[in-house]
């Protein structure tokens, strides 16, 4: 179900189409009521989702608070993603993949090397570059919501990466509930289960 907080009488904002190459991060401004779709064009890879509210860079999309708010470590259809102030910022309205992660931090160049993945820029470094390019200077760099990253928990509490369960064209669509700047990354994961290198598509629409 695609929810909105309240009707918005402002003129329709511009729609957006972006292709995010591997190792890079795209920034898009979205407003309440718009639909954000992230698509794994070739399949088999992870994408990273970050967002800061337009009103206050101290408020941002938080996977940690989302877990507590929704009482789940899995991102499920209809779940409200919340900020560090526990305000819903997006809601997951469509999901062809049904396998995403709210547990793992963003990768770094060092963590990738430690995992045996060389020659890659870490997601956190790529994200910092992207926010600097937008002229933003937030106090905190949060962890991302890891889209298309299929992670399970073992009986002993261990993190168990699973092979991606989606092929080309797997996507999620989220309804935006708070005006924000969204960052979508196509960066390498620390887990060897999702190391495809294809591009990610990002689209922003005013209606289905």
Q: What is the DSSP string of 4-61?
A: -SS---SPPPPPEEEEE-TT-EEEEEE-TT-EEEEEESSSSB-EEEEEEESS-TT-BB
In a domain, 5, yes or no: no
Residue 146: pLDDT band (50, 70, 90) is very high
Domain membership flag for residue 9: no
pTM value is: 0.91
Segment 114-141 shows an average pLDDT of 92
Cα–Cα dist 185/6, whole Å: 29
Say if 192 falls within a structural domain: yes
Closest CA to 46 of 142, 184, 177, 153: 184
Q: Report pLDDT digits (tens) over 17-46.
A: 999 999 999 999 999 999 999 999 999 999
- Contact present, 44 and 150 (Cβ < 8 Å): no
Using one digit for the tens of pLDDT, what is the confidence trace for 54-72?
999 999 999 999 999 999 8
| Domain count of the fold of the chain | 1
Closest of 176, 163, 168 to residue 199, by C-alpha: 168
Enclosing domain of residue 60: 24-205
| Per-residue pLDDT at 164 exceeds 80 | no
Give the count of alpha carbons within 13 A of 129, CB side only: 13
Percentage of the chain exceeding pLDDT 90: 68
Asked whether residue 99 is domain-assigned, the answer is yes
């Amino acid at each position: 179900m695609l929810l909105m907080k309240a009707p918005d009488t402002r003129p329709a904002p511009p729609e957006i189409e972006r292709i995010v190459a591997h190792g890079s991060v795209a920034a898009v401004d979205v407003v309440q009521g718009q639909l954000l779709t992230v698509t794994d064009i070739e399949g088999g890879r992870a994408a990273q989702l970050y967002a800061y509210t337009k009103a206050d860079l101290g408020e941002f999309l938080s996977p940690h608070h989302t877990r507590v708010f929704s009482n789940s470590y899995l991102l499920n259809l209809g779940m409200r993603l919340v900020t560090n102030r526990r305000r819903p910022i997006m809601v997951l309205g469509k999901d062809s993949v049904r396998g995403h992660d709210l547990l793992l931090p963003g990768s770094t160049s060092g963590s990738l090397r430690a995992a045996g993945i060389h020659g890659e820029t870490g997601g956190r470094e790529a994200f910092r570059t992207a926010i600097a390019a937008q002229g933003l200077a937030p106090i905190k760099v949060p962890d991302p919501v890891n889209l298309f990253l299929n992670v399970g928990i073992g009986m002993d509490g261990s993190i168990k990466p699973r092979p991606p369960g989606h092929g080309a064209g797997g996507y999620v669509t989220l309804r935006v509930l708070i005006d924000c700047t969204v960052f979508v990354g196509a960066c390498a994961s620390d887990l060897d289960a999702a190391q495809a290198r294809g591009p990610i598509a990002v689209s922003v629409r005013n209606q289905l």
